């Protein structure tokens, strides 16, 4: 398709990866926050993740209908985190919402949870804090780090009056395949890498994979919800399937080298955590640590100290277990 024919949104940009396959990449100032995917199987259309905001998801649905000439048949939720699933409500009641059984359970269990209620209640205050920090930022680098959080909380505040968390109505465990007249797609569940259950969508004929938050590119990943060793195993498994193009949950479209960079990031931080514990450094030392290169220029820098605290505590628990 000619670039001039690709629909435009203020929330995301569409990048054509193959005929009938598009990555929807969040743009600054928009309310998408995460990335998503459009896959035309031939006679059937899939959406992979639906963004944080129903407003952004409406644009995603409209763009998909314009590109394919038909309604969206199926939405796939890669995992339960809000920036990937709160757009579900923008799709027709006739559109199937698919996830793993564990992801659906987490959808339901986290709604109305105390942490969820506190998050929603504090959204306006968090938005103002990030806006104030953004206005006071003295460098372009600082503004780059803050703009996504301004977008994030701005999106949450805007959707609060209209949000209806729409859980999946079809679930599975393990793997699931879709076959169209043009291509086939395989969904594979990976447990414990980022959350309790994450999906990767593989298009073997096209050499493309949508990884959700099992992959961040040029962004610090969030490690606190999973097992770093398991995450490394997952990245190696995906690499073994030899995809040529990879769509991360956050960041630009990448290649198999992006899996290696992510794996190296995890290994580097695990090594730093072991070093701190071995040398008898207190956990408070983490707040004084500079982000090591080449990660000091990555977005989501606020995830770095959280990742280190999580890994430091993990190393301590491992050592206590060995002492037993």
DSSP collapsed to 3 states, the chain: CCHHHCCCCCCEEEEEEECCEEEEEECCCCCCCCCEEEEECCCCEEEECCCCCHHHHHHHHHHHHHHHCCCCCEEECCCCCHHHHHHHHHCCCCCEEEEEHHHHHHHHHHCCCHHHHHHHHCHHHHHHHHHHHHHHCCCHHHHHHHHHHHHHHHHHHHHCCCCCCCCCCEEECCEEEEECCCCEEEEEEECCCCCCCEEEEEECCCCEEEEEEEEECCECCCCCCCCHHHHHHHHHHHHHCCCCEEEEEECCCECHHHHHHHHHHHHHHHHHHHHHHHCCCCHHHHHHCCCCCCHHHCECCCHHHHHHHHHHHHHHHHHHHHHC
- pLDDT of 156 strictly over 80: yes
Rounded CA gap, 11 and 56, in Å? Answer: 6
- What would the mean pLDDT of 16-25 be, rounded to a whole number? 97
Greater confidence, 116 or 268? Answer: 268
Is a pLDDT exceeding 90 seen at residue 47?
A: yes
Distance CA 84, CA 63 (A): 18
Q: Output the pLDDT for position 113.
A: 59
pLDDT for residue 231? 98
Cβ atoms of 184 and 201 within 8 Å: the answer is: no
The CATH number of the domain covering residues in 3-111+165-255: 3.60.15.10
What is the pLDDT, as a whole number, of residue 323?
60
Would you list the domain boundaries of the chain? 3-111+165-255
User: Average pLDDT, whole number, for the chain?
Assistant: 95
Q: Over the stretch 54-65, which tens digit does the pLDDT of each residue have?
A: 999 999 999 999
Length reported for the chain: 324
CA 324 from centre of chain: 37
Residue 126: exposed, middle, or buried by beta-carbon count in 10 A (0-12, 13-18, 19+)?
middle
Dump pLDDT digits (tens) for 87-133.
999 999 999 999 999 999 998 887 755 678 889 999 999 999 999 99
pLDDT at res. 110: 79
């Amino acid at each position: 398709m000619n670039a001039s024919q690709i629909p435009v949104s203020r929330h995301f940009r569409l990048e054509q990866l193959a005929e009938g396959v598009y990555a929807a990449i969040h743009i600054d100032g928009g309310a998408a926050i995460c990335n998503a995917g459009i896959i035309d199987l031939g006679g059937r259309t899939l959406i992979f993740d639906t963004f944080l905001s129903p407003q952004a998801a409406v644009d995603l649905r409209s763009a998909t209908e314009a590109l394919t000439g038909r309604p969206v048949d199926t939405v796939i939720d890669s995992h339960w985190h809000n920036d990937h699933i709160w757009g579900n409500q923008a799709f027709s009641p006739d559109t199937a919402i698919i996830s793993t059984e564990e992801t659906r359970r987490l959808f339901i269990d986290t709604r109305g949870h105390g942490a969820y209620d506190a998050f929603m209640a504090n959204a306006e205050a968090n938005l103002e804090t990030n806006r104030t920090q953004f206005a006071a930022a003295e460098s372009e680098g600082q503004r780059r780090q803050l703009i996504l959080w301004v977008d994030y909380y701005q999106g949450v505040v805007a959707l609060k009056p209209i949000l209806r968390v729409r859980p999946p109505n079809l679930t599975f465990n393990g793997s699931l395949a879709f076959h169209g007249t043009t291509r086939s797609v395989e969904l594979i569940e990976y447990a414990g890498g980022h959350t309790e259950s994450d999906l990767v969508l593989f298009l073997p004929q096209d050499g493309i994979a949508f990884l959700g938050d099992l992959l961040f590119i040029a962004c610090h990943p969030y490690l606190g919800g999973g097992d770093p060793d398991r995450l490394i195993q997952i990245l190696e498994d995906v690499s073994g399937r030899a995809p040529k193009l990879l769509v991360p949950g956050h960041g630009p479209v990448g290649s198999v080298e992006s899996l290696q960079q992510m794996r190296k990031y995890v290994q580097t931080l695990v090594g730093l955590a072991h070093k701190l514990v071995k040398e008898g450094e207190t956990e408070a030392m983490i707040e004084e640590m500079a982000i090591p290169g080449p990660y000091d220029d990555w977005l989501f820098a606020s995830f770095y100290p959280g990742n280190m605290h999580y890994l430091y505590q993990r190393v301590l628990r491992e050592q206590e277990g060995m002492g037993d």
